[in-house]
Amino acid sequence: MAVLAESIPLVDIETGEKTSYTGYFKMKVLETQKAESINEYLEENINDMLIVFTDKSKSYVDISDLVEAHYSEQSTKETTNSTLKWVHIAISNAKRNFLGVYHKIEGKYLQLYLNEFCYKLNRRYLGERLFDRLSIALACS
């Protein structure tokens, strides 16, 4: 199964420094790894003002038409540890979590497992602010 993972790195607006952790994650099970499937998902779910970093997969050839800027880099040890670091960490943590907790996952339920994983991952730093965040989310919806 093809899974698309996206993350938003956190940057301090005043200083421009990147934090040591990342913010929001989203993962989606795709029908295929073809460019059409990826582009369809991106058109529905992203803002055209985004800057996107990807590996050099041929499935990402049309992304530059959908976003402000698209940078692709060959997957190497350096890019794994820098540019796409949090995407690789999240995917490996999801795999380890699924193998350790669920043991056998059927494809038709994979999106539900990914949703649960991302829900927990996106709220890991909220701690005592969880209730405040929930209140804001409810007020905005």
What DSSP letter does each residue of the chain carry, written as one string? -EEEEEEEEEE-TTT-PEEEEEEEEEEEEES-SSHHHHHHHHHHH--TT-EEEEES-GGGTTGGGTSSEEEEE---HHHHHTTTHHHHHHHHHHHHHHHHHTS---GGGHHHHHHHHHHHHHTTTTGGGHHHHHHHHHHH-
Give residue 90's pLDDT: 83
pLDDT at position 2 = 58
**pLDDT for the residue numbered 122:** 79
- Residue pLDDT tens, the chain, 141 long: 555 666 666 666 677 777 666 667 888 888 888 888 888 888 887 777 877 777 777 788 788 888 888 877 777 777 777 777 778 888 888 888 888 887 777 888 888 888 888 888 877 777 777 777 777 777 765
What integer pLDDT is reported at residue 10 of this predicted model?
62
**Total structural domains in the chain?**
1
pLDDT of res. 7: 63
Q: Which domain holds residue 43?
A: 2-140
Residue 129 sits in a domain whose CATH number is 3.30.420
Predicted pLDDT of residue 8: 63
Q: Residues of 95-127 as b/e, b for ≥16 C-beta within 10 angstroms?
A: eeebeeeeeeeeeeeeeebbeebbeebeeeeee
pTM score? 0.69
Res 23: pLDDT:
67
